[in-house]
Amino acid sequence: MKYKSTRGGVADLSFTDALLMGLASDGGLLVPEQIPDVSGKLDEWRSCSFVELAQNIIGLFVDDIEPTTLNRLIAEAYATFDHPDVVGWKTLDKLTVVELFHGPTLAFKDVALQLLGRLFQHVLAQRKQRLNILGATSGDTGGAAIAGVRGQHNVDIFILYPEGRISPLQELQMTTVLDKNVHCIAVNGTFDDCQRLMKETFADLEYKQKYQLGAVNSVNWARVLAQIVYYGFASLKTSTAAEFSVPTGNFGNVFAAYLAYRMGFPIANLIVATNDNDILARFFATGEYAVSSVHQTLSPAMDIQVASNFERFLYYHFDEDSVRLQTFMTEFAEHGKASLGAAPNTALFRSVAVDRGQTLAAMSEAQDLYDYVLDPHTAVGYAAAKQLGRADAPILCIATAHPAKFPEAVVAATGTVPTHPSLDALVGLEQRKSSLNADLRAVKEFLATAVSA
């Protein structure tokens, strides 16, 4: 399997080259040259454990790591989860919650980043290289990425996050990790500022090469690849094709579901559930992709206006036409908006924006009716599923984080205080972080100084 850029300037990359490149050198995102059709293997795969299915799916996309080694890395990654099936499964009447928060940092990002850290470690050791990872987080990516690479001798990690715009516990999961290879950078701005700074740093190809930069955000293809697995796994547990409701900010999670659908897994529909930052809901309703102001909400990991993974979907929506994609993305970069001219003609996707009141009501309802606690992000998916879910298909709601990571929202909705031992243990620990303005020069100087040291 080879990889290419959505913008047409990069092609014929091996998986490990794509892994280390992260963001494509032409400014696009890397995608596989083909999407394999697995429809003929579904009956055989229904009896697979999560790890076995991961080995089967990921092996289709990786042909330059020896299969025995790849399978070992996959098994080691998911041995860090505290659920016997890796993902949990909670049925609430006609809706089933797919729990993806049983990893080390209690967030769905662990599913990809526990594997990504091991892939980096293996490939860098084989090549006798080192890597400086630059990432941006709206909450969970940072902690999960740090947990995946902390203490590694051939990797340093730099995480940008918006000061005061992630939950205190999410910040503690990053800043209390004191390993020398971990650098947490609080940015005076929004997550979109952090994401812009990351992309602009990668766009300086001379700088990127000089300081050996790699990506850990979902711009990295390996992140999306690992996420395909849980959609395949969940879809094979239902008797008929399922509908997934996915809390969505950067579009990476729901894009993985789209690829699972393209591969032939039994998926009927995808609900793109957004909060008040509704750029994606507006796109699917009108065809216009237009930036608005970033709103702080109860679900901070989704407080995003520029969805970095959306380019991958547009590439396939434009029938892999890189010229048309570049025209669209250039218009968006220059004017803050671009349009298809009409709502996209797709029966697969539906989208809705869920506001603060609806989020709190969803959390309260789940507690009252089912004695089940939703985190505010999952509550957005739950509310969207209640609004848009079809009566003739199983509805699966993706649970992206443990509720104990967002105690203020849970208390406001339910009056109960959620806890988790791993989070309780963070309180009072020594912290280390740096603070910067949302300035490209400041970020590049910080990285250069830290790497040189």
Residues annotated as catalytic (active site), given as ranges: 109
The Cα–Cα gap between 158 and 146 comes to: 9
SS3 sequence, the chain? CCEEECCCCCCCECHHHHHHHCCCCCCCCEEECCCCCCHHHHHHHCCCCHHHHHHHHHHHHCCCCCHHHHHHHHHHHHCCCCCCCCCEEEEECCEEEEECCCCCCCECHHHHHHHHHHHHHHHHHHHCCCEEEEEECCCHHHHHHHHHHCCCCCEEEEEEEECCCCCHHHHHHHHCCCCCCEEEEEEECCHHHHHHHHHHHHHCHHHHHHCCEEECCCCCHHHHHHHHHHHHHHHCCCCCCEEEEEECCCCHHHHHHHHHHHHCCCEEEEEEEECCCCHHHHHHHHCEEECCCCCCCCCHHHCCCCCCCHHHHHHHHCCCCHHHHHHHHHHHHHHCEEECCCCCCCCCEEEEECCHHHHHHHHHHHHHHHCCCCCHHHHHHHHHHHHHCCCCCCEEEEECECHHHCHHHHHHHHCCCCCCHHHHCCCCCCCCCEEEECCHHHHHHHHHHHHHC
Q: How far apart are CA 124 and CA 386, in angstroms?
A: 46
> Which residues 6+ apart lie within 8 Å of 225 measured at CB?
57, 58, 61, 112, 256
Please classify residue 15 by burial: count the beta carbons closer than 10 Å to its beta carbon, then call 0-12 exposed, 13-18 middle and 19+ buried: buried
Locate 378 and state its tokens: 């999952």
Do 253 and 108 meet the contact criterion of CB atoms below 8 Å apart?
Answer: yes
Which tokens is 1 given? Answer: 């399997």
Mention every residue, 6+ apart, whose C-beta is less than 8 A from residue 424: none
Count CB neighbours of 345 within 10 A.
8
C-alpha atoms less than 13 angstroms from C-alpha of 395 in its C-beta half-sphere: 20
